[in-house]
A and B are shown apart, each in its own frame.
Chain A
């Protein structure tokens, strides 16, 4: 099974760059997701990493190191609308068909 850890809260300034880290201990790990969740809304898909390295998608990038059990989500040119919870989720492999989520990082973007 998996144990996923990420910081509870972070604060960053509009226009800045912020990195949200996620560490995991897993067996049978398949890949790692990042989701964004605004208060009262559904989680929305941001990225999926199955191979080591950096995946860039506009202002958002995600990195995975399988050997280190480590991932991060990088948000550039922060906007006020980026204030949300960011959820790291590991996908179990070997026929498990489930995601194990961290408790989420609440990001507050301030002017």
Chain B
């Protein structure tokens, strides 16, 4: 059974650009969550999608957005990149609430 797949693994962008990250959940998982991980703040919740609907959003500016497609794949977008957006972006999928979250290997974004 394939795990959670995130692409790309590494990305370097310039300040002011925008970026789109992709996440393919485990087959059959309909919930997809996104987290930002930095050395100083640890893992912080960005948003969660279920059946193409955003059910919850964390305390991040509107530059961070996401969506989920009918096949449960999800994308997150960050516009007008800032140096502070450099982080590991992790996606996690779950078949349903309370069933555990399986994380992908993440996309490491560096903003220069």
List chain A positions with a Cβ less than 8 A from chain B. Answer: 30-31, 33, 35, 41-45, 48, 50, 87, 89, 91, 95-104
Q: Which residues of B contact A43 (CB under 8 A)?
A: 43, 90, 103
Q: Which of B12-20, B66-74, B79-87, B93-101 lies at the interface?
A: B93-101
Question: Once the chains bind, are A101 and B42 in contact (CB under 8 Å)?
Answer: yes
Whole-angstrom CA separation of A48 from B48 in the bound complex: 19
In the A-B complex, list the 7 residue pairs whose CB atoms are closest, starting with the nearest: A103-B42, A101-B43, A42-B103, A98-B45, A97-B48, A42-B105, A43-B103
Interface of B is mostly: strand
B47 to chain A, nearest CB (A): 9
Tell me the B residues contacting A by CB distance below 8 Å: 4, 31, 33, 35, 41-45, 48, 50, 55-56, 58, 90, 97-98, 100-106
Known contacts A91-B98, A98-B48; is-contact A42 B104 (Cβ 8 Å) = yes
| A38, chain B: closest CB distance, angstroms | 11
Q: Which residues of B contact A99 (CB under 8 A)?
A: 33, 35, 43, 45, 101
Q: Which residues of B contact A104 (CB under 8 A)?
A: 42
| Cα of A100 to Cα of B42 in the assembled complex, Å | 10
- Given A43-B90, A98-B48, A102-B42, decide whether A50 and B55 contact each other with a Cβ distance below 8 A: no
- B100–A45 touching, CB < 8 Å: yes
Chain A residues, Cβ within 8 Å of B101? 33, 45, 99
Q: A97-B50, A98-B48 are in contact. Are A48 and B100 (CB under 8 A)?
A: yes
Contacts of A48 in B (CB 8 A): 98, 100
CB <8 Å contact, A42 and B43:
no
Cα–Cα, bound, A91→B106 (Å): 21
Q: Which of B33, B43, B44, B45 has the most CB of A within 10 A?
A: B43
Minimum CB–CB distance from A8 to chain B (whole Å) comes to 11
A-B contact pairs, 27 of them (CB 8 A): A41-B105, A42-B4, A42-B90, A42-B103, A42-B104, A42-B105, A42-B106, A43-B103, A45-B102, A48-B100, A87-B42, A89-B43, A95-B56, A97-B97, A98-B45, A98-B48, A98-B56, A98-B58, A99-B33, A99-B35, A99-B43, A99-B45, A101-B35, A101-B43, A101-B44, A102-B42, A103-B41
